A and B are shown apart, each in its own frame.
Chain A
């Protein structure tokens, strides 16, 4: 018989101080940034995730990051796109988050999670903040390419790849976070992730032009995003 069975009421070993770092009561932006990247599971299970300041701070990180990313995309065409692209990207992300929140609540419950709406709000803003930070990481590289090329296909593909890479990590954060809150099923989370991704991809077409130039702020012609991409793939900024 091993020691574990011999002493069932023995005191558990102390937590490894190098791995476990308690989350402060009212974390500031820098601390939230650190926790989000280093200890997402701990964050998801903590009370701080349900608090309004956390939601607002994550929202702020997401919004600022996406505004910078939008500005970088705007430097592809310059002119009006320098202000239009960040507004469209920021507004689009906020809109996508809002319209996908009800489905997140339903699908996370279906997956077995017992997270409250407030906690899910915190997790969603955390997910968007993570995606935003990654996009901020891609921004300098994207700017270099935006200055060198005039091909919509090339810069569009690059922006899309950056977006997909950011989304992979963002969805991974959401999966880890929901597991902490009791989710056991993967399928509902995968379905929600696909829904969110499709919404953001369609928004890239609904809010067009984001890369190119136009007389109007928004193009009212209805189009599916795949069709829009096919139409603009071979076009160039310079006639």
Chain B
């Protein structure tokens, strides 16, 4: 377990099938345990469904992008072959899975304690529950990516190569992973909808079109003045933050 949380270059240099399978099993178990607590709030059956769907989401994403990840690993000069790329990515997911599994008792406790889906405060509880899990998944995901970045840095010849490989992998997997999360929905189980493994016609529609429609709805309700203000803020804030960072760097020197 400790080896998996702090992987070394030896870990991916010559991966054996047994090692890859072990990493995959640990990742699946981690996501499965956490997934159960995600769905449990809606109903125990939903918990079982999500315990299957969360590992399935990772497996489908890696399976569909397997060839692309391997090709990008080779073409960007990381020196990682197909098997090695798969093992490196699985290690990242296993770390995320282990972190999530470690907080599963807490999220299970949370599911038991907040107002249930049949209560009057169901909508508020659902929103709070959703936000908590999204934050936890984001934190665990970032931790997995950071570990993967360190692993790649220690394996590849230069930092530029490791960053390019990591960026390409994340971009490809995140893009497809979002769509798979759409296909495999529901995960949190809306209080107003029936418990189901998948929605009716799961392949219909796509994640990005849904996001775009939501964006259009929000935009149509915002005043022009507010929109201009938001755009200006979006431009000024990064410049301001960049300036502050430079000032801190100068002060340190």
Least CB distance, B207 to chain A, in whole angstroms? 8
Interface centre among B67, B68, B172, B183 (most CB of A within 10 A): B68
CB contact under 8 A between A144 and B183, given known A134-B71, A138-B68, A149-B206: yes
List which B133-185 residues lie within 8 A (CB) of chain A: 172, 175-176, 179-180, 182-183
Residues of B within 8 Å of A144, CB to CB, are 64, 176, 179-180, 183, 203
Q: Does the CB pair A154–B206 fall under 8 Å?
A: yes
B204 touches A (CB below 8 Å): yes
A38 touches B (CB below 8 Å): yes
A140 touches B (CB below 8 Å): yes
With both beta carbons as reference points, the residue of chain B lying nearest to A149 in the complex is identified as: B206
Count of interface residues, chain A, beta-carbon cutoff 8 Å:
19
A120 touches B (CB below 8 Å): no
- For A148-167 the 0/1 string (1 means CB < 8 A from B) is 11010010000000000000
CB contact under 8 A between A141 and B182, given known A148-B205, A149-B205: no
List which A125-180 residues lie within 8 A (CB) of chain B: 130, 133-134, 136-138, 140-141, 144-145, 147-149, 151, 154, 169, 172
Interface centre among A130, A137, A172 (most CB of B within 10 A): A137
Select A141's contact among B71, B72, B74, B175, beta carbons within 8 Å.
Answer: B175
Residues of B within 8 Å of A137, CB to CB, are 65, 67-68, 70-72
A37 touches B (CB below 8 Å): yes
With both beta carbons as reference points, the residue of chain B lying nearest to A133 in the complex is identified as: B71
Least CB distance, B70 to chain A, in whole angstroms? 8
- The A/B interface has a contact count, at CB < 8 Å, of 53
Residues of B within 8 Å of A130, CB to CB, are 75
Least CB distance, B114 to chain A, in whole angstroms? 33
Select B65's contact among A37, A141, A149, beta carbons within 8 Å.
Answer: A141
CB contact under 8 A between A148 and B179, given known A37-B71, A154-B208: yes
Q: Does the CB pair A141–B68 fall under 8 Å?
A: yes
Residues of A within 8 Å of B70, CB to CB, are 137
B209 touches A (CB below 8 Å): yes
Residues of A within 8 Å of B182, CB to CB, are 148
- A137–B169 Cα distance when bound, in Å, is 12
- A133–B72 Cα distance when bound, in Å, is 11
Q: Does the CB pair A148–B65 fall under 8 Å?
A: no
Q: Does the CB pair B74–A38 fall under 8 Å?
A: yes
Q: Does the CB pair B172–A141 fall under 8 Å?
A: yes
Residues of A within 8 Å of B175, CB to CB, are 141
- A38–B71 Cα distance when bound, in Å, is 10
Select B68's contact among A134, A148, A154, A172, beta carbons within 8 Å.
Answer: A134
Select B183's contact among A37, A38, A136, A148, beta carbons within 8 Å.
Answer: A148
- A18–B175 Cα distance when bound, in Å, is 35
Q: Does the CB pair B75–A37 fall under 8 Å?
A: yes
With both beta carbons as reference points, the residue of chain A lying nearest to B171 in the complex is identified as: A165
Residues of A within 8 Å of B209, CB to CB, are 149, 151, 154
Q: Does the CB pair A140–B65 fall under 8 Å?
A: yes
With both beta carbons as reference points, the residue of chain A lying nearest to B206 in the complex is identified as: A148
Least CB distance, A178 to chain B, in whole angstroms? 17
- A148–B185 Cα distance when bound, in Å, is 14
Least CB distance, A29 to chain B, in whole angstroms? 16
- Residue positions of A touching B, CB distance < 8 A: 37-38, 130, 133-134, 136-138, 140-141, 144-145, 147-149, 151, 154, 169, 172
A sample of 5 inter-chain contacts (CB < 8 A) reads: A137-B71, A140-B65, A140-B67, A141-B175, A151-B209
